[in-house]
Structure 1
């Protein structure tokens, strides 16, 4: 009796093709409905091995490898494909008529050895073909994803084409998205590991639709819907800051001595909103470096003033030259005076707080403010001069002056 209560029909009472077709259908059912076409000539190889002891030829095994590739392309899991082959071998072995009547144990042992050799070779070749096809599919998908990300960040004008290409990745270009960029302090040795780690935590938190993780110009890129980012516990900086912290926390686990800086652009709607958010995030990273900010997470919203100041760079250079270059005449140069002005304005023009932040005495702060007034002609305590001085200080930081010379 066979499994399910059916009696095995000897191969001699029916055609060989009908018998093998039945074995294939039963094996397909065992494997959850895997197409029987993926068996190819495997059953014939098994019967030849059982009857004659013939080993499979190279070309026959190559054909099995091609079937493994086809299984991967059809979306059949590796486990189900292997189960199909093992179930087919088990069912065929039980129904081999010349073995069920054999009395010579050596004959049975030789047949079993030959059949197991075919099973071993075929399953190994099937798995190799499957793995090779999966690698190609992953590379192809990664290439398509990277090309899509590049076009989205560039703001490609082919809207209809982008919508069609974005759909398989679950991206709805009608939603409001934001872009976050993660920059490592040193070149990444294993970009794929960083992408995989980010994908796991981002998909777990935001879901796997409307989210893309990729790389561009040495940066890790995350495109995410703004309304999907849940604010961190206890408030926080809102969606942008929370996405940045989420990314930084995961990347920090991979650091191994490597520090990360994450910049998050503001949310914007539509296709061009993605490109706009990307430009803001990239500009925020650049500005933070020029300002020597070592913050782990940078929100582009916090640096809007620098975008305004640097939009007309020649005018900003002119302002810094006119207002601040006289400070270079001070003993020790302009930098200590600029640091004093920066902290003085940052704390609401309170000399005692500025002194605390600068780790100097209040007398030192008041002396420096006097020197600034004397050298520049602008009084930090005068409301009429304060705006000009503050704008010039912000511009100097954005231009990295006096560390870098001013260029026209």
Structure 2
């Protein structure tokens, strides 16, 4: 019988006596017999025996043993099969939970740079940390949790395209995280494609630079997260922000005192403008973003080109800096970027004073 079904005979060792006993006494298997069958079901799962083959073997045995006492035998078969299934499924669930916990712990350690057997554990999840890796993160209006359906959906899509030993998708700190080899240049684009289709309109993606080793994954993750934060602070329009394109901003922030001095010196006079400095700052940002094209800037701001020209003249009169002069434009643009980075101008106090 085991040859016909492909099920090892020892896995039926606790089942055949149940059938014989049911045929002889008409009684269903007791608790002890059921516990034995549950254990055998778990062992079948661990040995990779398909549940369909196990069920076929059980039904075949019941058919062979069926006779005058056929009804009790079949009833015993049904109860025995239920016990097998219970043991099998419990073993599967234990394996899944164990794998999920190990994966979650590995991701936490990887993104925090904890080095406890990291390279060895990485191999289990298909990562070879000696290579260069890029981390991309996605942020939505609502934090992305581990149970977000997009985590599994994107993972399945990327694994189908790039293979199971290349990509790691997870949720971390409210962000959706993608870790991919730097050689898979299309991976972050594919990740972004699925984020665009699965998150709300306010989504953003940050992409770190490629780095090698476990520490490189941490660095790329931090760069990707900081790219999103910079985009929000600066009001940048692109929804996909690459750390490599934003390297100037960490440099600007490295000496905060110097940046505060630059902003106060260059833009401080705008505090005296009627209506405050914000409309003039927005106009400068729009002009710089349009590479000096005042018509395009006016379209972006929703005002006339004449109004843009008037505001730029007010900036020149108040600050002494003109966006039309190359040297002065660089200083002015750096000051405007710095203002957004340090949160200038400060919010007005209740009494109207800044």
Cα distance in 1 between the residues matched to 2:139 and 2:205: 6
**Maintained 8 Å contact 1:248/1:296:** no
Q: Which residue of 2 aligns with 1:53?
A: 26
Q: Which residue of 2 aligns with 1:339?
A: 282
Q: Which residue of 2 aligns with 1:69?
A: 42
Instruction: State the 1:190 CA deviation.
Output: 7.2
Cα distance in 2 between the residues matched to 1:264 and 1:208: 21
What SS does the corresponding residue of 1:228 show, helix, strand or coil?
coil
Cα distance in 2 between the residues matched to 1:338 and 1:195: 39
> Is 1:120 matched with 2:78?
yes
Instruction: Give 1:214's match in structure 2, choosing from 159, 164, 170.
Output: 170
Q: Which residue of 1 aligns with 2:125?
A: 169
Query: More deviation in 246-255 or 134-143?
Result: 246-255
> Is 1:373 matched with 2:316?
yes
Cα distance in 2 between the residues matched to 1:292 and 1:40: 70
Cα distance in 2 between the residues matched to 1:288 and 1:138: 38
CA-to-partner distance for each residue in 1:376-400, whole Å, 9 max, x for gaps? 2323222332222111111122234
* CA spacing shift, 1:177–1:120, aligned 2, 3 Å: same
Q: Which residue of 1 aligns with 2:194?
A: 250
How many residues are paired up?
Answer: 348
Unaligned runs of 5+ in 2: 349-354
Instruction: Give 2:299's match in structure 1, choosing from 348, 356, 377.
Output: 356
Q: Which residue of 1 aligns with 2:91?
A: 133
**Maintained 8 Å contact 2:207/2:242:** yes
Unaligned runs of 5+ in 1: 1-25, 100-107, 231-242
> Is 1:148 matched with 2:106?
yes
**Maintained 8 Å contact 2:178/2:188:** no
Q: Which residue of 2 aligns with 1:22?
A: none
Instruction: Give 2:227's match in structure 1, choosing from 272, 278, 284.
Output: 284
**Which residues of 2 match residues 297-316 of structure 1 at below 5 A?**
297-316=240-259
> Please, what is the CA RMSD of the aligned residues?
2.4
Provide TM-score, normalisation by structure 2.
Answer: 0.89
CA-to-partner distance for each residue in 1:208-258, whole Å, 9 max, x for gaps? 11221112112121111121233xxxxxxxxxxxx4442233244444x57
